[in-house]
Copies of this chain bind each other. A is one copy, B any other.
Amino acid sequence: MTRERPKALKAEAIALRLADCPGWALAEGKLRRDLKFPDFSAAFGFMARVAMIAETLDHHPEWSNVYNRVSIELTTHDAGGVSALDFEFAARLNRLLDAS
């Protein structure tokens, strides 16, 4: 499968898309969402699901975890900025959270 290389979105396009992407914000040029769970078990169960999204999209987050907190940053290094692929990732992650 060939996939078109994602391009960096311009600031206006990012702002428009963020309006449809609850929980996410632009921080230091990346999409960012901070999450809090009841405990470590819930946080890591969620991370296992995010890992499967990452491999499915072949697009991987910059993320960190401290006990029940998970912070996720998304950017597309090849594109030099936030691309449609980051918003696709964010949307999938939101669907996963909505269904929990």
A49 touches B54 (CB 8 A): no
Task: For A45, give its contact among B49, B54, B62 (CB under 8 Å).
Answer: B49
Name A's interface SS.
helix
Find out whether the CB atom of A55 lies under 8 angstroms from the CB atom of B40. yes
A44 contacts the other chain (CB 8 A): yes
Instruction: Knowing A64-B62, A67-B60, say if A99 contacts B51 (CB, 8 Å).
Output: no
- Shortest distance between the CB of A4 and any CB in chain B (Å): 12
Min CB gap A24→B, angstroms? 18
- A48 partner residues in chain B, CB cutoff 8 A: 44-45, 48, 51
Contact surface of A with B, Cβ cutoff 8 Å: 1, 38, 40-42, 44-49, 51-56, 60-67, 96, 99-100
